[in-house]
Amino acid sequence: MATGNELVNFEMAKYMHDKLEGEIEAAATTKRYGVRWLAGNTAAAGTRLGDAVGMAAGVQIGETVNDNDFDSAYPWNSMRRCNGDWNTTTGLFEVMCYEFDTDGVANTAFKTDGSNGNVWVEIPLFWAKHIYDSEKEEKWISNAPGDGYYIPKKLQRSIARGQNKTYIAAYRASEDGNGNLVSVSGAIPEYGSFNTFMTKYKAMGTGISGTTSEDEEIIDLLMDVEFATRDQQSVMLGETNRYWGGDRKAQISEENTNRIVVANAHAAGFSVGDLIGVGIAADYRGITDVREITQITEYDTDNTAISFSGTPVNISAQTYCIIAFPNKTGQTDTLSAPSGTVLNDGLHDCRYRWIESPYGKQFDVVMDLLVNNYQTYFCNDMHGGNYGNQLTDYYIPIEYANANGNGYIRNMGFDERYPHVKNPVQVGNSASTITGFAAYNFSETGLRPVWRGGAIQSDRRAGRSCSSYNTSMSETNTFRGSRLSYTA
């Protein structure tokens, strides 16, 4: 009986023979966009190669839209948002409507708030090449096949089911009224443990999961080649510098109130619309769970009153503190460019090619990876729902061992058999906030899930490679979230 991978390979060959030949012949020009990092160079910035040489890759910061030549280059220029969902019976993605019609006019049927379904970003077919040896790392993206080029695994799986494109959720997962995880704007991001997310996704149907290593590969390839740096935060910080701690204490006691009065200095960094909680320590929500700041006013010369939504509570001075929660999804919706942030201060979210929170806000659980005593394993049958919180025969070991310490990442592992799987293999060695991969690694022995990207309190430790395999399967934090996906 053929395995899932053999079926994909067979369908790939058939697809390449029957369909791609005509598309390749019709293509006017083959384009190859690349970036290179030398092994001995600790700089996060890479060197542009091929057709990428001389290209600008600016993002929108506030109202300033900086030049970006990739906006007119394939496949970046063909990424677009849509309403739709995966058909779990056929395995095909069904688009309800695109954000813009073919004439460029906004489609009034497109909605980000969930009233017309989930919001996804369409990723068109492209080819990639990834070289990682003792001398260098190179990543390439092309509109046509070539020597050493391959189609990323997530796109391969879509092709095997008759579609030459795939889809990534536009927003971090939130929960709808039926308990399902969704991708919509204006919602409170769901938080939890590996176990809670696994249970919710499996209950939603065959093929439904959170982010996988195949989703990560798509975003990493596109972003690395476009920005030509491993320090994505040098381009835009993301929601990574919000307060996390337990020392911003209430200065007065009040009963039946919807405010907490804190010292002026402790009110800094909080804004109307921010999501917060009140408790006795960071991530302890003994008084409130998620509340929204409705008003910030002067209380007296030394203190500020922060008012919040919801049922009134009792506040005890010097016992309860204000706690920052990841903010609602959709903070980047006001942008006109596909990538950027409304304010590059670490307090506001960012998006990459319509994909909000590519890092920061919450660590994103990678559902198909497990780490056991620093060895990475990935599940080769996610579609069948055979992923879980223990190693089984469905998990394949990667040939490299992970870094067994905490620190800034110097090198990521690479297994040429499975280029979509990544984890840190070396930390330290002069790597810092602006060198190496400019992202941090948190590790611990034992069986661990993998979380990626950093969170609201990560500051300059965040980024696409920021990794956390130091929690149990059941550990829950408000800064650990997910992104809806489908494993085709």
Report residue 349 as tokens: 């979210």
pLDDT at residue number 28: 57
pLDDT digits (tens, 9 = 90+) for 257-302: 999 999 999 999 899 999 999 999 887 667 888 999 999 999 999 9
pLDDT digits (tens, 9 = 90+) for 16-66: 434 444 444 434 599 999 999 998 778 899 999 999 999 999 999 999 999
Q: Which H or E run contains 395?
A: strand 395-401
CA torsion sign for 80, 238, 248, 298 is negative
Q: Which H or E run contains 35?
A: strand 32-38
Positions of the chain with pLDDT lower than 70, given as ranges? 1-28, 284-285
AA identity, residue 458: S
What single DSSP character describes residue 331? T
pLDDT at residue number 21: 45
pLDDT at residue number 104: 85
Residue 357: C-alpha distances to residues 42, 290, 361, 455 (Å): 26, 19, 6, 10
pLDDT digits (tens, 9 = 90+) for 424-451: 999 998 788 888 899 999 999 999 999 9
| pTM of the complete model beyond 0.75 | yes
Going by C-alpha positions, the residue among 111, 156, 124, 140 that lies closest to residue 9 is: 156
Report residue 322 as tokens: 């204000």
Pairing of strands 340-341, 60-61: parallel
Q: Report the number of secondary-structure helices (H) and strands (E) in the chain.
A: 6, 33
- Computed over every residue of the chain, the mean pLDDT equals 92
Report residue 83 as tokens: 């309403």
CA distance 362 to 242: 12
